[in-house]
Amino acid sequence: MRASAIALSVAALALSACGGSKITPEQTEKAVAAFATVQKVFQHPRCQNCHIPGDQPLQFDAGLPHAMGVVRGPEGKGAAGLPCSTCHGEANLPASYGPNAPPGAPHWQLPPPQHKMAWIGLPAPKLCEMIKDKQSNGGRDFAALIKHVSEDKLVLWGWEPGGERKPVSVPHPEFVAAFKTWAAADGPCPKG
């Protein structure tokens, strides 16, 4: 047993000396600063209107309760008989439908009830912890989270919301770069 413990210690020191996964204080500082950009995006109406603590999604920049009694449902896709896809198609409707026509993107839905990822009004440290928590985020590690924020068509909709909706205020490439910077340092959270 003692020999294997020594071997593990030597291996850890070798990994550290080779620049393994040791994160420097400068990387941590940059990552915490990058998280401010991540927070700004996650708490923009385009994102937080669906990442809600209750079961009724919100609408518009003011975050008003969704009209017509729309609810999350057991899978996040709406109630039986009134799925999200009833009104929300695979893409935004043409401008000729008017400024408040239902928006659309592939797999329009809320997060499922067991992984609500509700972050409205959360302070930065709590939001940071929630995003990283695999029990809250649907089992996603950093690679899966990066893929989600980089490629998911519903996420990307936030930058092209159609109608008179304001897109997410941070350009998508800037957001993804900030997210990657934060993730590369193992997702350090801001202090209190």
Res 10: pLDDT: 34
Asked if 76 and 112 count as a contact pair (C-beta separation under 8 A), the reply is yes
Res 178: pLDDT: 98
Asked if 38 and 31 count as a contact pair (C-beta separation under 8 A), the reply is no
Listing DSSP states for 51-78 in one string gives S-SSSS-EETTTTEEPGGG----TTSSE
pLDDT in tens, 44-69: 999 999 999 999 999 999 999 999 99
Rounded distance between C-alpha atoms, residue 147 and residue 78, angstroms: 25
Res 100: pLDDT: 85
Q: Which residue has the tokens 């409205």?
A: 120
pLDDT in tens, 122-160: 999 999 999 999 999 999 999 999 999 999 999 999 999
Task: Enumerate the domain spans of the chain.
Answer: 25-184
